[in-house]
A and B are shown apart, each in its own frame.
Chain A
Amino acid sequence: MILYFLCLMLFCVGLYGVLRKRNIVKMIIGLGIMEYAMNLFFVLIGYRFHGRAPIDAKDQNIFNMVDPLPQALVLTSIVIGLAITALVISIAIRIYEKYGTFDITKIKRLKG
């Protein structure tokens, strides 16, 4: 149970970064940390004490495999996270080109 709580603390650090910081790159980093914490939480739920990796061996039967379903879900989630990070970074580069800053409070023209 204390492992779940530490994982949630990691999520909270990312949430603090997204909500509190004013630099766009810091917000992207907070988003990445939240994604890491969520992936780790999925895999923690599927872990089993004294488990083996979910790959069959040639000469013996393995009975105590860990849960492969969260691993399969997280495997797609990691690559999607990379694509999302690249997309947000490209938007940030465009904002830096247009306004010359990464500070979100200086982008006045969005206020209408």
Chain B
Amino acid sequence: MELHILLIFMIFAAIVAIEVKDLLSSVIAVGAVGFALCLAFLVLKAPDLAITQLVVEILCLIILIRATINKDLPLVIEGRWIFNTLSTLGFIAVFLLFSWLALKELPRFGEPIMEVVKKYLQEGVSKTGAVNIVTAVILDFRAYDTLGEATVLFTSVIGIMAILRRPGRKKKNEK
């Protein structure tokens, strides 16, 4: 029951974040969505994800506020209002149709199919020595995923440094 309340709160906060005019209020509303997601992870028995989501949300808010402060847009009268809205709603209708077809094949909520994980749960402690099964999965059984994640993060840092670089300045003058 508490999951329903949290999800409805998240939907309302997301609508506020999309629709409000002021950019700073919009960023704060998306922060509310992130913290509600952290609570939902706690209810779903995933404490690792709750800690990570909490700290990542704080850093994400700082970066977003840094980008949007003092840079506001005046209200614009948008042209072709009816066409844009109708095409957007059409895309969303197509998405909902296909997702409804896919949802019929999923297992019911609360009764997962645990074929692969059965082996991890039985042999996790004896094979890796780690008590936290999530850590055992991401750093031992499926460490290739973590290697790929490290590569993505490395590429992203290189990309940001290349985009934000000041061209044509000497190192001596750089502050």
Contacts and interface: CB of A to CB of B under 8 A. Distances in A.
- The majority secondary structure among interface residues of chain A is helix
A76 B78 contact: no
B117 A69 contact: yes
A40 B36 CA distance: 11
B53 A78 contact: yes
B46 A89 contact: no
A16 to B, nearest CB: 6
Contacts, number: 218
Contacts of B85: 20
Interface of B is mostly: helix
A22 to B, nearest CB: 7
B134 A75 contact: yes
A4 B106 contact: yes
Contacts of B67: 25, 89, 92-93
Interface of B: 3-4, 7-8, 10-11, 14-15, 17-18, 23, 26-27, 30, 33-34, 37, 40-41, 44-49, 52-53, 56, 59-60, 63-64, 67-68, 71, 73, 76, 78, 84-85, 87-88, 91-92, 95-96, 99, 103, 106-112, 114, 116-117, 120-121, 124-125, 131-134, 137-138, 142, 145-146, 148-149, 152-153, 156-157, 159-160, 163-164
State the 10 A-B residue pairs at the shortest beta-carbon distance, nearest first.
Answer: A83-B156, A49-B110, A54-B133, A76-B149, A72-B137, A17-B18, A6-B7, A13-B14, A72-B138, A19-B88
